[in-house]
Amino acid sequence: MNENRRILMLSSIVRKELLYSNRTKIMFPILLLFIPGFAWGFSDPQVVLPGGVQPETAMEILYYTSIGILFSATVFAVLHAHDGISRERISGVLELRLSQPMSRSKQTYALVFGYWQSSFLPVAFCSLLAMIAMFARTGLLPSFLELLTFIFAVAVLVLWYTLLALIASSFAKEQSTSIAFGIGTWFLFTFLWALVTSMVAFASGVAVGQPNDPEWVRLEGHLDLLSPNGVFHHLLELCIPGIERGVSTAMTLLGVILWTLLPWLVLKRRIQHLTL
């Protein structure tokens, strides 16, 4: 059997197990609430956001809906993958797995791909529902390029959190450590990043939280490259004209590549040197 086919088959086993798991059953209503629910809300013609902003295009509605994705899809990925390695280490199945002829790096591909699919597919389904909700209320649909960018951004965001959670799981020898690391990372990038940005701005002598101050906007834009959520928003902003945060398309794409490659290489190395 071809190696790639074997990787796909193994990942489909992980996907199948997780898609029908209790975690998915518990999290799916939350995804529905946060993704199509946000899209429904932001599609309201009467909606006025802070600062008097009113979303007018399909991509703008999806951009605001992405807040719901940051709150739900990322934690969904973390909850799926936080014990991806530690659970099998505790049960002894990991020992059996590592003694199999398939190389550890190929097993890592299968693991990551399986966990990523199990989180991404429900999120993608909810994103599709979000677009249907948006169309039902406003008659707007994203262009093909906007749709592609949106789906790509969601896919890489879920991948980054899956990788981070699996790295945490590779270090953990019991469940609580991997949960703490996974949820802690999610909390840092989702809630605390604004604080980090403010502290850096304060230390740099930039006025904090002034949306009209170009220095603040530029600093925030650059610091966002250090956060997966920030890179996700930079990606979406590529399709929204008029947003200038001092970060070029090349820098955004470089951010995507680095946020994908670095955790991937760390995880691969961790699994290659994993001891029981």
Partner 1 sequence: MLMPHVCMGLTMAEAHLEVQQLHFRHTIAGRIPLIRKHAILGGGVFDCSFSIERGEILGLVGANGAGKTTLLRLLAGIHAPHKGDIRVDGKKGSTSQLRTKIGHMPEHIRWNGNKTLQEIMEEFCILNNEDTTTAAKLLELVGLIDQHHDPVYRLSQGMRQRLSLGVALIGSPEILLLDEPFNGLDPIASASFQNMLKKLASKGVTIIISSHLVYDLRTLVDRIAIMHRGQLIEEGTMEDVSKKLGFHGMYEIKGNGDVEVEQFFEIHNVVEHSKNENRWTLIVRDVTSTSIQTMFEKNVKVTSWTPFEPSLVDLLQSATGMELDEISMEVKPQMMVPLRSEVDEDE
- HSE at residue 260, side-chain half, CA atoms within 13 A, is 17
Question: Smaller CB distance to partner 1: residue 255 or 263?
Answer: 263
Nearest distance from C-beta of residue 15 to partner 1, angstroms: 12
Pick one of 43, 74, 107, 229: the residue that binds partner 1 (CB under 8 A): 107
Region 40-99 residues binding partner 1, contact defined as CB under 8 A? 90-93, 95-99
* Number of amino acids touching partner 1 (CB under 8 A): 24
Stretch that binds partner 1, among 102-110, 157-165, 194-202, 233-241 (CB under 8 A): 102-110
Question: Smaller CB distance to partner 1: residue 10 or 69?
Answer: 10
Note whether 82 and 182 are within 8 A (CB). Answer: yes
Task: Identify any residues that bridge with 53 across adjacent strands, giving them in sequence order.
Answer: 49
What is the three-class DSSP state of 246?
coil
Nearest distance from C-beta of residue 48 to partner 1, angstroms: 48
CA–CA distance, 140 with 49 (Å, rounded to integer): 19
For residue 244, state whether it binds partner 1 (rule: CB under 8 A).
no
Note whether 85 and 170 are within 8 A (CB). Answer: yes
**Helix 193-204 to helix 214-224 angle, to the nearest 10 degrees?**
130
Stretch that binds partner 1, among 1-9, 145-153, 162-170, 239-247 (CB under 8 A): 1-9
Pick one of 103, 143, 210, 249: the residue that binds partner 1 (CB under 8 A): 103
Pick one of 45, 50, 51, 101: the residue that binds partner 1 (CB under 8 A): 101
**What six digits make up the tokens of 168?**
């945490």
Note whether 246 and 221 are within 8 A (CB). Answer: yes
CA–CA distance, 132 with 142 (Å, rounded to integer): 11
Q: Provide the 10 A C-beta neighbour count for residue 122.
A: 23
Stretch that binds partner 1, among 16-24, 132-140, 177-185, 214-222 (CB under 8 A): 16-24
User: What phi, psi does 53 have (nearest 5°)?
Assistant: -80, 135
Stretch that binds partner 1, among 7-15, 128-136, 146-154, 161-169 (CB under 8 A): 7-15
Region 160-189 residues binding partner 1, contact defined as CB under 8 A? none
